[in-house]
Amino acid sequence: MKKKEIKILIVIALVAVAALAVIKVIQKKNAGSGVTVAIYYRDQIVKEFDPAKDAVYTVKGDYGTLDVEVKDDKWHVTNEECPNHICHQMGWVGPGEYLPITCLPNNIVVVQEGSSSK
């Protein structure tokens, strides 16, 4: 191979790597967009929220109240009135994890519903 051909291949490889880096940055930026999270009391949705908007939501259950904090595209239970506090111990959940936060004494479930974009 000639030096000119090697330089062209190196330029093509660098452009490809740069394009992949840009795609990854855009995917990370848009990771939380379009996701809806629902808070169920028994079998009814009582609140829905966008995890991209920081807030605290309070829901009344059978045993007492439960607070769900939303911050930086993630959510978790911060304060609950139940005996074992297991839902608080479950920690933070984010988009794509699909792990429901369940408070059985209160009959409350916090679950990602999926993407709202179709």
Whether 41 has a pLDDT exceeding 50, the answer reads yes
Residue 49 has phi, psi (to 5 degrees) of -145, 160
Q: Read off the pLDDT of each residue in 21-47 and give the average, rounded to a whole number.
A: 80
Query: Is the pLDDT at 110 greater than 50, yes or no?
Result: yes
pLDDT per position as a tens digit, 49-106: 988 899 999 999 998 999 999 998 899 999 898 888 888 888 999 888 878 999 988 9
Its pTM stands at 0.67
DSSP one-letter code for 45: E
Alpha helices, DSSP H, located in 1-118: 3-29, 86-89
